[in-house]
Each structure stands twice: as C-alpha cells, then as structure tokens.
Amino acid sequence: MIRIAVFASGSGSNAEKIVEYFRNHIDVKVEIILCNNPKAFVIERAASLDIPCQIFNRDEFYSLSSVEKLLIERKIDWIILAGFLWLIPQTMIKKFSGKIINIHPALLPAYGGKGMYGRHVHEAVIAAGEKKSGISIHLVDEEYDRGKILFQAECEVKEDDTPESLAERIHQLEHQYFARVIADLIIKENR
Ligand code: GRF
C-alpha cells in the first residue's frame, strides 16, 4: 500500500477531493491529514471524512522534527501540500526527495514565490492585466514554488474578475486535476 500524508493550512477543499479520490483505491491510501493551524476548516473536513488529523506548531515542525518522526512512524511514502503555507524543512525535503507535491494557483514560474498565496496571487494576476491564469502542480525543492513542474492547466481571466471570482474558477481546475495528477505520478513511480 502506498501511503500519502496531506498537509493543509486552510479550508482543505483540495485535501477533501484527494481523500475522496483515493477512498477505495486499491494501491494508494491517504493515511493522515496534517495541519499547522488549529482554526483551519480542514480539521472539520478530516473529521467528517473520518481521516486522522494531526495539528502541529512551528516547534514541532521545525525544531523538534516531531512531524517528520510521525511521517516515518506512519510509513508515509508521499507528501501532498494542498494549501500549506509554511516552507518545508530541509531535512524533510531530503528525506522525501522527489516525493513532495504542491499545487499553486497560478501558471508558474510567474506569480510564485514567497508571499504569493491565496488571494495575493489572484490580485497580482488581475492587476497585471493577464488574460489567463491557471494551476501548477510541481515537485517541492528547497525554494518556494521552484520545483519541477508536473502539470499545468489554464483558465481565462475575465475583464470583470475579482480575486474571488478568479479563485473560484481556479479551484474548479484544482478539484478537477490535482488528485488525478498525484495518482498518475505515484503509480508511474511505483512501477
Ligand atoms: C488552493 O488555491 C491551492 O492552489 C493553494 O492553496 C489553496 C488551497 O485551497 N496552494 P483549499 O484549502 O484546498 O481549499
């Protein structure tokens, strides 16, 4: 069985889609959801999805490495970042080299990097007068949003778009593609 841990910091709509996609998968299982924000809605989603959810703080994530120890105890093979806002510790990147996947709500390399998350991304895309935006699914390396791009999908940016209306269109792309891209990569790597 290939085991996945999903990290999220916010609403968790992508985490939910990923759990649902692999619910009855023969080879892949979402083992746990990990969250760095005790107020995040993803915690409620995990409860209703009946998936274990571990909340952690900066100490546990960076200095104590207790999150990394938990991943090892749970025999996690892949880490999925689904709206997770902290930089991954170097030790974890090395330990899970090539096995950490992130989704970014823009067409990288543009509109990526530190501080480019959530509505900040969509505000910047609209302010720049872009005609299209989209999603980027990529491997995670030492720097924000710089790893190998695995998949991109585009959507239009409308004249009258607000960050909210553009975010909604992009969420639809995320929910349509993220779990499938993860599955394709995991199965391919596992052959
Ligand atoms: C998504 O837009 C994703 O691209 C970005 O964070 C957002 C997470 O949304 N990394 P949700 O918490 O999965 O609803």
pLDDT band for 144, please (50, 70, 90 cuts): low
**Protein residue with least CA distance to atom 3, ligand 1:** 83
| Nearest ligand 1 atom to alpha carbon 167 | 2
* pTM reported for the whole predicted model: 0.96
Query: Residue range 136-150: average pLDDT?
Result: 87
Per-residue model confidence (pLDDT) at position 142: 74
- Determine the distance separating the centroid of ligand 1 and the alpha carbon of 60, expressed in angstroms: 23
- At 60-103, the pLDDT tens digits run 999 988 999 999 999 999 999 999 999 999 999 999 999 999 99
- At 39-56, the pLDDT tens digits run 999 999 999 999 999 999
Is 90 exceeded by the pLDDT of residue 145? Answer: no
The residue whose CB lies within 8 Å of the most ligand 1 atoms, and thus the one to mutate among 11, 14, 30, is 14
Per-residue model confidence (pLDDT) at position 40: 98
**Is any ligand 1 atom within 6 A of the Cβ of residue 104?**
yes
Per-residue model confidence (pLDDT) at position 123: 98
- Determine the distance separating the centroid of ligand 1 and the alpha carbon of 37, expressed in angstroms: 14
Average pLDDT, the chain: 96
Neighbours of 114 (CB within 10 A): 9
